[in-house]
A and B are shown apart, each in its own frame.
Chain A
Amino acid sequence: MTQQGRDRPVVLEARAITRRFPGVVANDNVSLQLHQGEILALLGENGAGKSTLMNILYGLYHQDEGEIFVRGQPLRVSSPHESIQRGIGMVHQHFQLVPVMTVAENVILGNEVTRGPGWLDRRRAGEQIRAISRQYGLEVDPDALIADLDVGAQQRVEIIKALYRNADILILDEPTAVLTPQEADDLMQMMRKLARQGKSIIFITHKLREVLAVADRIMVLRAGRVVGETTPAEATEASLAAMMVGRSVMLQVERGEMRPGAVVLEVTNLHVRDDRQLLAVRGVNLQVRAGEILGIAGVQGNGQTELVQALTGLRLPESGSVRIAGHDVTGATPRRISELGVAHIPEDRQRDGLVSSYPLTDNAVLELYYLAPFARGLVRDDAAVRDHAERLVQEFDVRTPTVTAPASSLSGGNQQKLIVAREFTRELRLLIAAQPTRGIDVGSIEFIHNQIVKKRDEGVAVLLVSAELDEILSLSDRIAVIYHGEIVATVNNGELSREQLGLLMAGASLSETAAMSPSLAHSEGLS
């Protein structure tokens, strides 16, 4: 497929696209060709210009220089409407669906099937959608409400929406960022099926494994420029990462012997309810010692969020107890917990970790603003805050023109580095890191992983919660698997294989899993 791909007609071509924003060149002389039936992966770190390029192709932005051709015809008027008419469909990272409407209604929205003047023909719409979903293997019930669908199904609706408008060029913007590993695999199968039937796909991502699994051709962007083009056959994860970042990257974290100390975090029989008042955490028992990293592995939505909120004071536990460094902090306020030397990297950095309209300076002291030297009495000391922010930006390599720029102007990776910088420069006993590298670039991931290990080596107790099993495996000293709000197993890292852990995360019992591994009998914490 890789080789024949080049002989097929070019359906979409961008020539020497340049797009400037105040202060940055987001795309600098970028050219690309997309052939019919091809999956072109566009790889790059956050801020490399992938999304800008796609928004130009889709007509949301206009390029400053360069031309776009669809099947040899120039695309002049830049509006999404024009692009849709020319057969370009885009699936955004954040879905554009109306939750209270059905699948069919969402698909036909703006392109309604009518019978007579203004009567919706739901039946016919449903049939058309079923036909599309059969043809491309995109399973979805046209009559289901969007709100009732899981993320994977919602994404299929988005793809159907594009296909329903006769798109044969599909742009998928970070489509796997929101999916579980299984859902991502399903999506990649669908992508192959679509390509086999003649659809051309541009697949934007920064996950190297997926690129190698599904792409026909790979284009790498860095700082707005195309820095290389390759194929999965010629590339490895390491070579792609190096191209993306511009230097060689350690994909594996170097982790020395652990020297565990006293127990810092002790969670006993903790029960926590979620927003719908359902028990999300049911009787969790945990211990994290100084100088070790305990990784909590689990598919998202198994109580990790509520567990972390209860540990950091953001949610009142239903019952059970939390002790940190000997103090009972069950139900304590976030401030009291923070003042005990607990740092928290929140899972949703946009919502909880930063005030995006604030400059970096204010964000750098979000928790410490009331303490000396950042305030004297009630009066804040701007100079001290600024010095602190300058130091963090320097030490943690946060890329920003100035510390007075708003946090929203930073890329995701740099926002996360700022949070890490803020949390790691406090006096720490315990670090609670929830999804510390979600949605950020390889370079930042490497950096943050090394920082976490460094803290552990300094004697900090680390609780790592991540939906990425690879992250858990490469960082943790011990691994606890959470399923339906319960810790189903706690083992030393290395005792179970990736596959065995995957089974536990999916709800298999330990005895079923243990049959695969004789070494389990010696592991601790089994019940």
Chain B
Amino acid sequence: MAEAVEGRAPSPGPAGFREYYARYAPYLVPVFAVFTALVVGALMIGLTGGDWLAAYIGLWEGSFGTPIAIASTVVRATPFIIAGLAVAVAFKAGLFNIGAEGQLYAGSVCVVLVGTLLQLPPVLHIPVGIFAGAIGGAAWASIAGFLKARTGAHEVINTIMLNYIAIRLTDWLIRSKNPYLLGDPADPSSARTMYIAETMRLPGFRLSDTIVLHLGILIAIVLVFLVAWFLNRTTIGFELRTVGSNPGAARYAGMSVPKTIILAMAFAGALAGIGGAGEVMGVRYALSTDFFSGLGFDAIAVALLARANPIGIVFSGLLWGGLLTGARLMQVRAGLSIDVIKIVQALIIMFVAADQIVRFIYRIPRPPPGEETMISKGWGGG
């Protein structure tokens, strides 16, 4: 953070550095936001009588300090990255997808179905499982896309409602005993589905009793590049971004705005569904009622922190996974509640959303025009 200190100084530094800073600092706003949130978090721990240094050392060691810690951070980050992409893709089309949570469940239900009903060799079963997750998520998200495109109903409201429906529906599918639908008759008190077939479980390295570094992270990285390529290099991606940036110009240019909206939501839902598939097929091998517990909402934060940039989402996803993974060691070392991490996460989001504050602290000039509007429009909906 040497730059930060330099930038704060009003006295003229070397002109080369200042120009360099003025040009690149706007892109680093998220980094500054994270840093500021950690500083404020430290202050809060210190003021309440905790040992902030021990806490942060614990946080670091628990998340990136050892190979095992890194592996479990990566495992934890995988669904954040994939679901973050789901939010980002919709964001690029000018849509605020609050529905990643519901899409995760919708996709996972389909994964469990093909995982329990079909019998296939692994080479087929795994792709079929991922595909099923994508289809389930896409279908679920398309409902909101269709409503938006056809009636103008706001996607924020509809995706929130679809979240509730998806969660309750999953709950019912699992808990129904007469007849058993997805629930496991062998273990009626478990509140989970039957286990999926061995042939559909993602291969990985078992690092400890609880941690398997599974194939999911590779899938996530492939998806990151696929999404980046799709958005920036394909005509459909161009249509999607144009509709998101300026629907008026998109119509003028002969693009179909409704079609693009439905497509963007479907694509977003497919990504979320794959995220769900990764968790079911790589971590627990079954779906339970509280399986994702807010992952879809954290995905919004992950996408926001990365400013909907697919490559950036790898880093914000790892940060999110790291914070959650390291929290346990932090708790042990400093005797703090795990909820401190929730506070730091909330601070990060606050500083990213209120980037004016960060710009002011670090004397960061306005960003190049155009970029800002996309983010704020995402919040306001449109």
Contacts and interface: CB of A to CB of B under 8 A. Distances in A.
Co-complex (A, B): yes
Contact of A355 (B233, B234, B249, B368): B249
Contacts of B233: 379-380, 382
A69 interface: no
Interface stretch (A239-247, A267-275, A361-369): A361-369
Contacts of A382: 233
Interface string A318-361: 00000000000000011100110000101010011111111000
A358 B249 CA distance: 11
A73 to B, nearest CB: 26
A351 B249 contact: yes
Interface stretch (B60-68, B348-356, B369-377): B369-377
A504 to B, nearest CB: 30
Contact of B248 (A333, A351, A358, A367): A351
Interface residues of B, number: 24
A233 B374 CA distance: 50
Given A370-B235, A406-B368, A314 B254 contact: no
Contacts of A379: 233-235
Contacts of B236: 378
B242 interface: yes
Contacts of A369: 235, 238, 253
B31 interface: no
A352 B245 CA distance: 11
A497 interface: no
Contact of B254 (A348, A356, A367, A409): A367
Contacts of A314: 251-252
A357 B245 contact: yes
B119 interface: no
B235 A380 contact: yes
A375 interface: yes
A352 B254 contact: no
Interface in B294-321: none
A353 B236 CA distance: 20
B190 interface: no
B191 interface: no
Interface in A389-442: 406, 408-409
Nearest to B19: A22
B120 interface: no
Contacts of A362: 238
A338 B254 contact: yes
A375 B251 contact: no
B128 interface: no
Given A355-B245, A357-B373, A357-B374, A367 B22 contact: no
B368 A358 contact: no
A380 B370 contact: no
Interface residues on A, range: 20 to 34
Contacts of A408: 369-370
Interface in B217-241: 233-236, 238
A251 B373 CA distance: 39
B307 to A, nearest CB: 13
A98 to B, nearest CB: 18
A422 to B, nearest CB: 10
Contacts of A356: 245-246, 369-370
Nearest to A312: B252
Contacts of B245: 355-358
B235 A357 contact: no
Given A22-B22, A406-B370, A355 B252 contact: no
Interface string B359-382: 000000000111101100000000
Contacts of A357: 245, 369-371, 373-374
Nearest to B374: A357
B235 A351 contact: no
Most chain A beta-carbon contacts within 10 A, residue among B233, B249, B373: B249
Contacts of A366: 242, 249, 252-253
A311 B290 CA distance: 55
Contact of A378 (B23, B234, B371): B234
B254 A354 contact: no
A29 to B, nearest CB: 21
A22 B23 CA distance: 9
Most chain A beta-carbon contacts within 10 A, residue among B235, B254, B370: B254
20 contacts: A333-B256, A334-B254, A335-B255, A338-B254, A351-B248, A352-B251, A352-B252, A354-B246, A356-B245, A356-B369, A356-B370, A357-B370, A370-B235, A378-B234, A378-B235, A378-B236, A380-B235, A406-B368, A406-B369, A409-B369
A-B complex: 10 closest residue pairs judged by Cβ atoms: A357-B370, A335-B254, A408-B369, A352-B252, A366-B253, A334-B254, A355-B246, A370-B235, A351-B248, A352-B248
Interface of B: 22-23, 233-236, 238, 242, 245-246, 248-249, 251-256, 368-371, 373-374
Given A333-B254, A335-B254, A409-B369, 17 more contacts: A312-B252, A334-B251, A352-B249, A355-B242, A355-B249, A356-B245, A356-B370, A357-B370, A357-B373, A358-B242, A362-B238, A366-B252, A370-B235, A378-B236, A380-B235, A406-B370, A408-B370
